[in-house]
């Protein structure tokens, strides 16, 4: 069920839908975590420490690997205007681009040039983050 809920996340276009899917996923993750801990305690008794540590190491490993899997699918754009629901005029955009150039030159950072996105729908169409969710869902099922 966790894999199914992870696969459903990119399909949620309303906040309430996302909240319901995440709540269901949280219930199942809590069940799996509790059952795994109790099962290890029942099997190994007082000698459970290394096994619990290995289990929780695997949780940490998953938390480390997930962003690495997701990074290639992220959109390298500044979408704060869409989040803050504001419009920027041309002079604000020019000042921001000049500041980015100064920071880039000062720290020697080289990046691919960003393209300009006009609408939220265009940004959602250009990003492929849904594939990262689906990859993690397949990994979860296995």
Could you report the per-residue pLDDT of 27-84, keeping only the tens digit for each? Answer: 999 999 999 999 999 999 999 999 999 999 998 998 898 888 888 887 776 667 666 6
Does residue 93 or residue 125 have the better pLDDT?
125
pLDDT in tens, 97-131: 555 555 555 555 555 545 566 666 676 677 778 88
User: Which pLDDT value is given to residue 90?
Assistant: 46
How far CA 67 is from CA of 1, 11, 31, 138, in Å, comes to 21, 20, 24, 16
- Spatial distance between the Cα atoms of 63 and 73, rounded to a whole number of angstroms: 17
Residue 8 confidence class, pLDDT cut points 50, 70, 90: very high
φ, ψ of residue 14 in degrees (nearest 5)? -125, 145
Alpha helices in 45-119 (DSSP H): 49-70, 80-84, 90-107
Q: What is the DSSP letter of 48?
A: -
Q: Angle at the Cα of 42 (from 39 to 45), degrees rounded to 5? A: 130
């Amino acid at each position: 069920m966790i894999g199914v809920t992870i696969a459903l996340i990119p399909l949620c276009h309303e906040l309430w839908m996302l909240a319901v899917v995440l709540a269901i996923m949280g219930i199942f993750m809590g069940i799996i975590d509790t059952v795994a801990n109790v099962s290890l305690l029942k099997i190994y008794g007082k000698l459970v420490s290394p096994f619990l540590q290995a289990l929780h190491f695997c949780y940490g490993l998953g938390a480390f690997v997930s962003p690495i899997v997701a990074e290639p699918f992220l959109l390298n754009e500044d979408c704060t205007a869409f989040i803050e629901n504001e419009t920027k005029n041309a002079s604000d955009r020019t000042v921001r681009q000049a500041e980015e150039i100064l920071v880039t030159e000062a720290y020697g950072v080289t990046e691919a040039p960003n393209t300009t996105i006009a609408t939220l729908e265009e940004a959602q169409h250009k990003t492929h983050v849904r594939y990262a969710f689906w990859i993690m869902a397949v990994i979860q099922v296995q």
